[in-house]
Amino acid sequence: MNDLLTSIDGSGLRLDCGAPRGAAERAWSPGLVTSHTSGTLQESGLIEIDPILTRMRRMKRSVLTAARMHEFELRHKRHRPAMLTLTYREVGQWNPKHISDLLQRIRVWVRRRGHGLRYVWVAELQQRGALHYHLLLWLPRGLTLPKPDKQGWWTHGSTRIEWARKPAGYLAKYASKLDSKSGIGFPAGARIHGRGGLDDFGASVAQWFNLPQWAREVCDLAGRAVRVKGVGLVERDSGVCLPSPWRVSCSPTGIYAERLFSYMDSLRGVGGPFSWLPQAA
Protein backbone atom coordinates (compact mmCIF):
# COMPACT_ATOMS: atom_id res chain seq x y z
CA MET A 1 0.00 0.00 0.00
CA ASN A 2 2.77 2.40 0.84
CA ASP A 3 4.50 1.87 -2.51
CA LEU A 4 2.15 4.25 -4.34
CA LEU A 5 2.76 7.03 -1.87
CA THR A 6 6.50 6.48 -1.95
CA SER A 7 6.53 6.57 -5.74
CA ILE A 8 4.31 9.65 -5.88
CA ASP A 9 6.55 11.42 -3.40
CA GLY A 10 9.33 11.16 -5.93
CA SER A 11 12.06 11.07 -3.34
CA GLY A 12 12.21 7.29 -3.27
CA LEU A 13 12.20 7.46 0.52
CA ARG A 14 9.65 6.44 3.11
CA LEU A 15 8.44 8.79 5.78
CA ASP A 16 9.71 7.60 9.15
CA CYS A 17 9.89 10.16 11.91
CA GLY A 18 11.14 7.54 14.33
CA ALA A 19 14.50 7.49 12.61
CA PRO A 20 17.40 9.00 14.54
CA ARG A 21 18.00 12.68 13.90
CA GLY A 22 21.35 14.12 12.92
CA ALA A 23 23.59 12.95 10.11
CA ALA A 24 21.17 10.29 8.86
CA GLU A 25 18.36 12.83 8.66
CA ARG A 26 20.48 15.34 6.81
CA ALA A 27 21.28 12.71 4.20
CA TRP A 28 17.66 12.24 3.10
CA SER A 29 15.92 15.57 3.67
CA PRO A 30 14.54 16.58 0.23
CA GLY A 31 15.98 19.85 -1.02
CA LEU A 32 18.60 19.92 1.70
CA VAL A 33 22.20 19.00 1.08
CA THR A 34 24.83 18.54 3.71
CA SER A 35 27.44 21.25 3.48
CA HIS A 36 30.93 20.04 2.66
CA THR A 37 32.56 23.42 3.09
CA SER A 38 33.65 22.90 6.68
CA GLY A 39 33.53 20.36 9.45
CA THR A 40 32.22 23.05 11.77
CA LEU A 41 28.92 23.25 9.91
CA GLN A 42 28.42 19.50 10.03
CA GLU A 43 29.22 19.38 13.72
CA SER A 44 26.79 22.22 14.45
CA GLY A 45 23.91 20.43 12.72
CA LEU A 46 23.50 23.09 10.04
CA ILE A 47 22.35 22.00 6.59
CA GLU A 48 23.08 24.01 3.48
CA ILE A 49 20.03 24.64 1.28
CA ASP A 50 20.28 24.62 -2.48
CA PRO A 51 17.23 26.76 -3.41
CA ILE A 52 17.33 25.86 -7.10
CA LEU A 53 17.57 22.14 -6.41
CA THR A 54 14.74 22.48 -3.88
CA ARG A 55 12.57 24.10 -6.54
CA MET A 56 13.36 21.38 -9.07
CA ARG A 57 12.55 18.59 -6.61
CA ARG A 58 9.29 20.28 -5.62
CA MET A 59 8.36 20.51 -9.28
CA LYS A 60 9.20 16.86 -9.85
CA ARG A 61 7.08 15.74 -6.91
CA SER A 62 4.17 17.97 -7.95
CA VAL A 63 3.93 16.93 -11.60
CA LEU A 64 4.37 13.21 -10.91
CA THR A 65 1.68 13.30 -8.23
CA ALA A 66 -0.75 15.15 -10.48
CA ALA A 67 -0.14 12.80 -13.44
CA ARG A 68 -0.66 9.70 -11.32
CA MET A 69 -3.80 11.10 -9.73
CA HIS A 70 -5.24 11.90 -13.17
CA GLU A 71 -4.52 8.31 -14.20
CA PHE A 72 -6.10 7.01 -10.98
CA GLU A 73 -9.27 9.07 -11.38
CA LEU A 74 -9.64 8.05 -15.05
CA ARG A 75 -8.92 4.35 -14.50
CA HIS A 76 -12.55 3.37 -15.35
CA LYS A 77 -13.03 5.95 -18.10
CA ARG A 78 -12.04 5.98 -21.75
CA HIS A 79 -9.44 8.73 -21.98
CA ARG A 80 -6.14 9.06 -23.81
CA PRO A 81 -3.23 11.26 -22.75
CA ALA A 82 -1.72 13.51 -25.39
CA MET A 83 1.69 15.18 -25.22
CA LEU A 84 1.75 18.74 -26.52
CA THR A 85 5.10 20.52 -26.94
CA LEU A 86 5.08 24.31 -27.26
CA THR A 87 8.19 26.09 -28.53
CA TYR A 88 9.07 29.74 -29.04
CA ARG A 89 10.32 31.19 -32.28
CA GLU A 90 12.49 33.78 -30.54
CA VAL A 91 14.60 33.28 -27.40
CA GLY A 92 13.29 36.32 -25.52
CA GLN A 93 9.67 35.99 -26.62
CA TRP A 94 8.33 34.46 -23.40
CA ASN A 95 5.43 36.04 -21.51
CA PRO A 96 3.81 34.61 -18.34
CA LYS A 97 0.33 34.82 -19.91
CA HIS A 98 1.16 32.67 -22.92
CA ILE A 99 0.67 29.28 -21.24
CA SER A 100 -2.44 30.38 -19.29
CA ASP A 101 -4.03 31.90 -22.41
CA LEU A 102 -3.43 28.70 -24.36
CA LEU A 103 -4.91 26.54 -21.60
CA GLN A 104 -8.00 28.74 -21.50
CA ARG A 105 -8.49 28.34 -25.26
CA ILE A 106 -8.15 24.56 -24.98
CA ARG A 107 -10.47 24.53 -21.95
CA VAL A 108 -13.18 26.35 -23.92
CA TRP A 109 -12.69 24.02 -26.91
CA VAL A 110 -13.03 20.90 -24.71
CA ARG A 111 -15.97 22.32 -22.73
CA ARG A 112 -17.95 23.01 -25.90
CA ARG A 113 -17.73 19.29 -26.58
CA GLY A 114 -19.12 18.43 -23.17
CA HIS A 115 -15.94 17.60 -21.27
CA GLY A 116 -13.60 19.06 -18.66
CA LEU A 117 -9.91 19.71 -19.17
CA ARG A 118 -7.31 17.66 -17.31
CA TYR A 119 -3.68 18.64 -17.70
CA VAL A 120 -0.16 18.81 -16.25
CA TRP A 121 2.62 20.95 -17.69
CA VAL A 122 6.30 21.62 -17.08
CA ALA A 123 8.63 24.28 -18.45
CA GLU A 124 12.12 23.57 -19.74
CA LEU A 125 14.98 25.64 -21.10
CA GLN A 126 16.43 24.68 -24.46
CA GLN A 127 20.17 24.85 -25.03
CA ARG A 128 19.71 28.03 -27.04
CA GLY A 129 18.15 29.65 -23.94
CA ALA A 130 14.54 29.67 -25.13
CA LEU A 131 11.78 28.46 -22.83
CA HIS A 132 9.41 25.75 -24.04
CA TYR A 133 6.58 23.75 -22.47
CA HIS A 134 5.66 20.07 -22.20
CA LEU A 135 1.89 19.82 -21.71
CA LEU A 136 0.05 16.55 -20.95
CA LEU A 137 -3.68 16.53 -21.72
CA TRP A 138 -6.17 13.75 -20.97
CA LEU A 139 -8.80 13.69 -23.74
CA PRO A 140 -11.87 11.44 -24.13
CA ARG A 141 -11.38 8.77 -26.78
CA GLY A 142 -12.58 9.97 -30.13
CA LEU A 143 -11.57 13.57 -29.41
CA THR A 144 -8.40 14.85 -31.07
CA LEU A 145 -6.99 18.27 -30.27
CA PRO A 146 -6.13 20.45 -33.28
CA LYS A 147 -2.62 21.86 -33.46
CA PRO A 148 -2.64 25.10 -31.46
CA ASP A 149 -0.35 26.93 -33.89
CA LYS A 150 -2.64 26.07 -36.82
CA GLN A 151 -5.68 27.22 -34.81
CA GLY A 152 -4.05 30.52 -33.93
CA TRP A 153 -4.00 29.60 -30.23
CA TRP A 154 -0.18 29.60 -30.11
CA THR A 155 1.25 32.30 -32.36
CA HIS A 156 4.67 32.42 -30.70
CA GLY A 157 6.28 29.47 -32.47
CA SER A 158 5.56 25.83 -33.30
CA THR A 159 3.63 23.00 -31.61
CA ARG A 160 3.75 19.21 -31.75
CA ILE A 161 1.13 16.70 -30.58
CA GLU A 162 1.51 12.95 -30.04
CA TRP A 163 -0.34 10.37 -27.99
CA ALA A 164 1.36 9.24 -24.77
CA ARG A 165 1.26 5.57 -23.80
CA LYS A 166 2.62 6.11 -20.28
CA PRO A 167 2.19 9.76 -19.26
CA ALA A 168 3.52 9.36 -15.71
CA GLY A 169 6.55 7.53 -17.08
CA TYR A 170 7.12 10.31 -19.60
CA LEU A 171 7.18 12.92 -16.85
CA ALA A 172 9.30 10.71 -14.60
CA LYS A 173 11.91 10.34 -17.35
CA TYR A 174 11.98 14.09 -17.83
CA ALA A 175 12.05 14.85 -14.09
CA SER A 176 14.88 12.37 -13.47
CA LYS A 177 17.23 14.68 -15.39
CA LEU A 178 16.52 17.69 -13.17
CA ASP A 179 19.31 19.10 -11.05
CA SER A 180 20.53 22.48 -9.87
CA LYS A 181 21.68 23.43 -13.37
CA SER A 182 18.17 22.79 -14.74
CA GLY A 183 16.76 25.75 -12.84
CA ILE A 184 19.34 28.30 -13.94
CA GLY A 185 18.27 30.75 -16.60
CA PHE A 186 14.48 30.74 -16.19
CA PRO A 187 12.98 34.22 -16.71
CA ALA A 188 12.20 36.07 -13.50
CA GLY A 189 8.67 35.27 -12.34
CA ALA A 190 8.28 32.25 -14.61
CA ARG A 191 6.24 29.34 -13.31
CA ILE A 192 7.89 26.03 -14.08
CA HIS A 193 4.90 23.69 -13.68
CA GLY A 194 1.14 23.60 -13.32
CA ARG A 195 -1.84 21.25 -13.18
CA GLY A 196 -5.62 21.40 -13.47
CA GLY A 197 -8.81 19.37 -13.72
CA LEU A 198 -8.36 16.99 -10.78
CA ASP A 199 -11.41 16.02 -8.73
CA ASP A 200 -11.57 17.22 -5.11
CA PHE A 201 -10.01 14.02 -3.84
CA GLY A 202 -7.17 14.06 -6.35
CA ALA A 203 -6.50 17.72 -5.63
CA SER A 204 -6.31 16.96 -1.90
CA VAL A 205 -3.76 14.22 -2.50
CA ALA A 206 -1.68 16.49 -4.74
CA GLN A 207 -1.80 19.33 -2.22
CA TRP A 208 -0.81 16.99 0.62
CA PHE A 209 2.27 15.83 -1.26
CA ASN A 210 3.25 19.44 -1.90
CA LEU A 211 3.49 20.10 1.82
CA PRO A 212 6.99 20.19 3.35
CA GLN A 213 8.18 16.77 4.41
CA TRP A 214 8.11 17.65 8.09
CA ALA A 215 4.39 18.54 7.76
CA ARG A 216 3.63 15.26 5.98
CA GLU A 217 5.35 13.48 8.85
CA VAL A 218 3.23 14.86 11.65
CA CYS A 219 -0.42 14.51 10.65
CA ASP A 220 -3.04 14.12 7.95
CA LEU A 221 -3.77 17.64 6.72
CA ALA A 222 -5.31 16.20 3.53
CA GLY A 223 -4.28 19.23 1.56
CA ARG A 224 -6.24 21.68 3.71
CA ALA A 225 -3.21 23.51 5.05
CA VAL A 226 -2.23 27.04 4.09
CA ARG A 227 1.11 28.73 4.60
CA VAL A 228 1.10 31.79 6.83
CA LYS A 229 4.28 33.86 6.77
CA GLY A 230 5.97 33.97 10.16
CA VAL A 231 3.58 31.34 11.58
CA GLY A 232 3.94 28.11 9.64
CA LEU A 233 1.16 25.89 8.34
CA VAL A 234 -2.42 26.49 9.46
CA GLU A 235 -5.18 23.91 8.98
CA ARG A 236 -8.10 25.67 7.32
CA ASP A 237 -10.98 23.91 9.09
CA SER A 238 -9.69 23.71 12.66
CA GLY A 239 -7.24 26.62 12.72
CA VAL A 240 -4.55 24.37 14.23
CA CYS A 241 -1.10 25.88 13.64
CA LEU A 242 2.00 23.84 12.90
CA PRO A 243 5.17 25.91 13.23
CA SER A 244 8.09 24.69 11.18
CA PRO A 245 10.72 22.78 13.17
CA TRP A 246 13.38 24.26 10.88
CA ARG A 247 15.09 27.61 11.32
CA VAL A 248 16.49 29.08 8.11
CA SER A 249 19.26 31.66 8.09
CA CYS A 250 21.18 33.46 5.36
CA SER A 251 24.84 34.39 5.29
CA PRO A 252 27.34 35.57 2.67
CA THR A 253 28.35 31.95 2.16
CA GLY A 254 24.87 30.52 1.56
CA ILE A 255 21.47 29.60 3.00
CA TYR A 256 21.37 27.22 5.95
CA ALA A 257 18.73 25.36 7.95
CA GLU A 258 18.82 23.92 11.44
CA ARG A 259 16.23 21.60 12.98
CA LEU A 260 15.17 22.96 16.35
CA PHE A 261 12.74 20.24 17.45
CA SER A 262 10.80 17.17 16.32
CA TYR A 263 7.09 16.50 16.69
CA MET A 264 6.38 13.67 19.11
CA ASP A 265 3.31 12.24 17.33
CA SER A 266 4.90 11.80 13.92
CA LEU A 267 3.67 9.16 11.51
CA ARG A 268 5.94 6.13 11.67
CA GLY A 269 6.53 3.77 8.76
CA VAL A 270 3.54 4.88 6.69
CA GLY A 271 3.22 6.50 3.31
CA GLY A 272 0.72 9.10 4.46
CA PRO A 273 -3.02 9.56 4.76
CA PHE A 274 -3.70 8.05 1.32
CA SER A 275 -1.67 4.85 1.64
CA TRP A 276 -4.75 2.67 1.04
CA LEU A 277 -4.66 3.63 -2.65
CA PRO A 278 -3.71 0.83 -5.07
CA GLN A 279 -0.49 1.02 -7.03
CA ALA A 280 -0.72 3.56 -9.84
CA ALA A 281 -0.31 2.38 -13.39
Q: What is the pLDDT of residue 265?
A: 61
Q: Is residue 279 part of a domain?
A: no
Burial of 276 (0-12, 13-18, 19+ CB in 10 A): exposed
Q: Is residue 278 part of a domain?
A: no
- What is the tens place of the pLDDT at every residue in 178-190? 655 666 678 888 8
The Cα diameter of the chain in Å comes to 63
Q: Is residue 40 part of a domain?
A: yes
3-class secondary-structure state, position 72: helix
Q: What is the pLDDT of residue 77?
A: 92
The rounded mean pLDDT for the chain is 75
| Percent of the residues in the chain that have a pLDDT greater than 70, as a whole number | 71
Domain span including residue 74? 2-270
Q: What is the pLDDT of residue 29?
A: 37
Whether the pLDDT of residue 53 is over 50: the answer is: yes
Q: Is residue 50 part of a domain?
A: yes
Q: Which of 6-10, 116-120, 203-207 has the lowest mean pLDDT?
A: 6-10
Q: Is residue 201 part of a domain?
A: yes
Q: What is the pLDDT of residue 179?
A: 59
Q: Is residue 281 part of a domain?
A: no
How sure is the predictor about 59, in pLDDT bands with cuts at 50, 70 and 90?
A: confident
Q: Is residue 238 part of a domain?
A: yes
Closest CA to 54 of 224, 246, 197: 246
Q: Is residue 200 part of a domain?
A: yes
* Highest mean pLDDT pick, 51-65, 104-118, 214-228: 104-118
How sure is the predictor about 280, in pLDDT bands with cuts at 50, 70 and 90?
A: very low
| Cα(94)–Cα(135) distance, integer angstroms | 16
Whether the pLDDT of residue 226 is over 60: the answer is: yes
Q: What is the dihedral of CA 7, 10, 16, 22, to 10 degrees?
A: 150
Backbone angles phi, psi at 13, to 5 degrees: -130, 145
Query: How many distinct structural domains can be found in the chain?
Result: 1
Helix axes 2-9, 200-209, angle to 10 degrees: 60
Whether the pLDDT of residue 119 is over 60: the answer is: yes
> What residues does 139 pair with on adjacent strands?
80
Q: What is the pLDDT of residue 83?
A: 92
Q: Is the pTM of this model over 0.75?
A: no
* 78 or 212, higher pLDDT: 78
| Percent of the residues in the chain that have a pLDDT greater than 90, as a whole number | 31
